Amino acid sequence: MATVEFKRLTKRYGTLEVVHAIDLAIADGEFIVLVGPSGCGKSTTLRMLAGLEDVSDGEIRINNRLVNEIEARDRDIAMVFQDYALYPHMTVYGNMAFSLRYRSIARREIERRVREAAEVLGLSVYLERYPKELSGGQRQRVAMGRAIVRKPQVFLFDEPLSNLDAKLRGSMRLEMKRLHQQLGVTTVYVTHDQIEAMTLADRVVVMNSGHIEQIGTPDEVYHEPASLFVAGFIGAPTMNMIPVKREGADGLRLADSEFIRFPHPVGAQSDLVLGVRPEDVDIASEGGAGRASVPATIDVVEPLGADTLVFASMVGHQMALRVRPEVRPQRGMSVRLNLDLERAHLFDATTGRRLSPAHP
């Protein structure tokens, strides 16, 4: 196992800078997920760590060893790709053993490692099959097994579940979580899927346009988003964002109409954004302590079984609510939305940074 550190890590293609001097320290045995939209620089960052892309500026250190100029094969890492990258003419055993044979490891040791990894991944009965005879999930486990047998210091995963259907992705997430708990190898995982990030990570690194927006535990990035970008990217449906103006020491004016009192000091900024998670909005006749009651009109109701999603128009803005499954308002119905201001956040509308403290 190993620590990994980025110091002012930068990547340019000509004059275009796609990763902007990022800093990140990954602890020994930690599972880190880089998450963000397409084009945010997360895969480029992973490829620099893997040695598949040159570093333009800054440092990459593995166990405090500078690896910028070290070839990929000598970094003692193993990478699992989105498309599995299996050799179609080799059996499962052959695919898993290939890198060990390339390193001239003794045949008996190869046999031991392959069968041990196959047992861990539930592949023992498939060792003589070819990739075309396997399901997508089985192929992905073979790709993981090929990485495991190398006993690397660091595992790298580049969107490994994106080719799987939703049900299989769920089961593979459980598989990967169990595997990390069992092996304890330092892992860097790239995805655009926030569910994967939230369920797998010890810490999440949210990236945007080549910058790191926030580093934190899944709970921290969800309940204490550092910016409007993080608040809008993490969560499904995402946080409700309502433009407001400060009025007095603790007052907020919504769309030049509704006035609400925020339970904490508002600060000096005039133009703000009030952020409220869907689960912190409900339908009620009146507000209560620490809550604001605002008129709205129901637009769409989506029953999901365990709960119900409701979308409503409130002072000219679309609001999402996650409510009890038995709550089924009708489209066009006039209601009042209760906003739990104790759990809400305020953001600077100009910089996008969160101003309010966390309210767990």
In this predicted structure, what is the pLDDT of residue 289? Answer: 53
Q: What is the mean pLDDT of residues 272-297?
A: 81
* pLDDT tens digits along 9-43: 999 999 999 999 999 999 999 999 999 999 999 99
Fold adopted by 237-348:
OB fold (Dihydrolipoamide Acetyltransferase, E2P) (2.40.50)
CATH numeric code, 4-229:
3.40.50.300
Q: What is the mean pLDDT of residues 97-126?
A: 91
Residues forming a β-bridge with 10: 57
pTM: 0.89
Domain boundaries, the chain: 4-229, 237-348
- The Cα–Cα gap between 217 and 211 comes to 18
In this predicted structure, what is the pLDDT of residue 360? Answer: 45
Q: Which of 55-59, 267-271, 345-349 has the lowest mean pLDDT?
A: 267-271
Element (H, E) at 205: strand 203-208
Q: What proportion of the chain, given as a percentage, has pLDDT over 90? A: 68
Mean confidence (pLDDT) of the chain: 90
* pLDDT tens digits along 137-189: 899 889 999 999 999 999 999 998 888 888 888 888 888 898 899 889 999 99
Q: Which of 66-80, 96-110, 167-181, 249-263 has the lowest mean pLDDT?
A: 249-263
* pLDDT tens digits along 41-92: 999 999 999 999 999 999 999 999 999 999 998 999 999 988 888 999 999 9
In this predicted structure, what is the pLDDT of residue 356? Answer: 63
> How far from the centroid of its chain's Cα atoms is residue 30's Cα?
15
In this predicted structure, what is the pLDDT of residue 192? Answer: 92
Q: Any idea what DSSP says for residue 354?
A: B
Of 310, 358, 354, 353, the residue nearest 335 (C-alpha): 310
Q: What proportion of the chain, given as a percentage, has pLDDT over 70? A: 96
Query: Which burial class, exposed, middle or buried, applies to 143 when counting CB atoms under 10 A from its CB (0-12, 13-18, 19+)?
Result: buried
In this predicted structure, what is the pLDDT of residue 87? Answer: 92
